[in-house]
Amino acid sequence: MWPYPRILAHRGGGTLAPENTLAALRCGLAYGYRAVEFDVMLASDGVPVVVHDPELGRTVAGSGHINDYTAAQLAAMEAGAWFGAAFVGEGVPAFDAVVAYCKAQRIWMNIEIKPAPGFDVQTGTAVARATRDYFAQEIAAGQLLPLLSSFSIEALQAARQTAPELARGWLVEAIPADWECTAKELGVVAIHCDHRQLTRALALAVKEAGYGLFCYTVNTPERASELLAWGVDGFCTDRIDIIPSMA
């Protein structure tokens, strides 16, 4: 149930570039990573943009919420200076720009649907629809597609209804006791969890039930080796400089 790459660059470039920017994707590629994870939410005009926090201030200069601004306004905001002078001028990229770059460079994508509070259904619908449209030719040809993932059950349900041909992963911190029932109801192909909350027994149970198992965010080679030995299918990392991509 995991036909995807094993090791992904977290938010594009891990800790080596400003997260969720085109610069991060270029950085990840420079380290040999052709598989990435990034976050998508909606701007005020309904356009999907690639950013993690629903509020401005941590990685994007400004105040207020992401969905207070249009995609064009967010693109003009400063999203790189916080990281370093070399990244001044990086804006919040639109989802379509990120997809275009990844497709051009043959980078596989784990697309996390990251709704702003109260916009779960809208975000799940918009991201799934956009992804389906971007990959219409690949869907028709039966080629490997991106994986949609989310912590939001409502977003996953909306994505499934909009584009059932796109596989989905359910994100959790700790795998709950009723995980298998929920996974079946959602129709997901994989469980994504915090590696610090995972045990060998849980990993075995997920794999025996026929699901893919993905972990976030694994930053030491020793832990990466341990998880792979447990049967974990894949993980994302911030330390693209010390964990080889296995591309």
Contact (Cβ atoms closer than 8 angstroms) between residue 7 and residue 35: yes
Contact (Cβ atoms closer than 8 angstroms) between residue 80 and residue 89: yes
Q: Catalytic residue among 10, 65, 192, 195, which?
A: 10
Whole-angstrom distance, CA of residue 188 vs CA of residue 42: 23
For residues 8, 12, 17, 18, the Cα torsion angle rounded to the nearest 10 degrees is -140
Contact (Cβ atoms closer than 8 angstroms) between residue 140 and residue 167: no
- 195: annotated active-site residue: no
Which amino acid, residue 37? E
Q: Catalytic residue among 52, 65, 192, 195, which?
A: 52
Whole-angstrom distance, CA of residue 187 vs CA of residue 36: 23
- 52: annotated active-site residue: yes
Whole-angstrom distance, CA of residue 39 vs CA of residue 123: 11
Which amino acid, residue 36? V
Q: Which residue has the tokens 């591309």?
A: 247
Whole-angstrom distance, CA of residue 6 vs CA of residue 89: 32
| Residues annotated as part of the active site | 10, 52
